[in-house]
Amino acid sequence: MSTWALDQIQQQLPDALSQRYHDRTGAEWAVVRREAILAVAQAIKEQLGFKLFISMDGVDRQQLPENTPRFEVVYFFFNIERNEHLRLKVLVPEDDCTCPTIRTVYQGANWAERLVWDFYGVHFTGHGDLRRMFLYEEFKGHPLRKDYALRDRQPLIPERPIKDIFRGPGTNGSTA
């Protein structure tokens, strides 16, 4: 893990990081203030060489004490020249479940942000195309939240015609 990159971020953007720590495996993490994630993403890509956006995910920490934010958005980056990984985390409270998008810096974050929104309900401000990716538009709720009811019934929707480029029209009997 890149302690060098975290040191550089602390020097260049002193108010961006709220915490640094080591997890149980010894990997170093940094907690980035929510409003600073876009500036940090630009700095690590343009100045520190972390040009590869690996992935991002959401975490629901509902069981934590009430004064801590419920959601975490975790980011993973890689610097090919230095062969170093960078792990960043943004804490998102439940009452204001928004986070700035980094899609303008890393285009690969487009689908990852849609996935986190789809399953956890974290809205990425400035995204521009934030719509469901795996679930249908009429789906109610966000299924990876810990308060999502396991036995909830979703509304039935009519099957939509599917255009299959290999076998012709959809397999649902539609001729559209």
Q: What is the pLDDT of residues 119-163, one digit of tens each?
A: 999 999 999 889 898 888 888 889 998 888 878 787 777 777 766
pLDDT at 176 over 60: no
Q: What is the pLDDT of residues 21-39, one digit of tens each?
A: 999 998 999 999 999 999 9
Q: What is the DSSP string of 108-138?
A: THHHHHHHHHHHH--EEET-S----SSS-TT
* Domain range list for the chain: 3-133
Least confident of 8-17, 62-71, 72-81: 62-71
Distances (CA, A) of 156 to 8, 75, 101, 139, 161: 52, 35, 32, 9, 15
3-133 topology per CATH: Beta Polymerase; domain 2 (3.30.460)
pLDDT at 1: 65
| DSSP structural state of residue 90 | E
Q: What is the pTM of this model?
A: 0.84
For the CA atoms of 112, 114, 118, 123, the dihedral, rounded to the nearest 10 degrees, stands at: 110
- What's the rounded mean pLDDT across residues 44-59? 96
Cα gap 41→63, rounded to integer Å:
29
Cα gap 38→25, rounded to integer Å:
28
Task: Decide: 71 and 96 in contact? Cβ < 8 Å.
Answer: no
pLDDT at 167 over 80: no
pLDDT at 136: 84
pLDDT at 149: 83
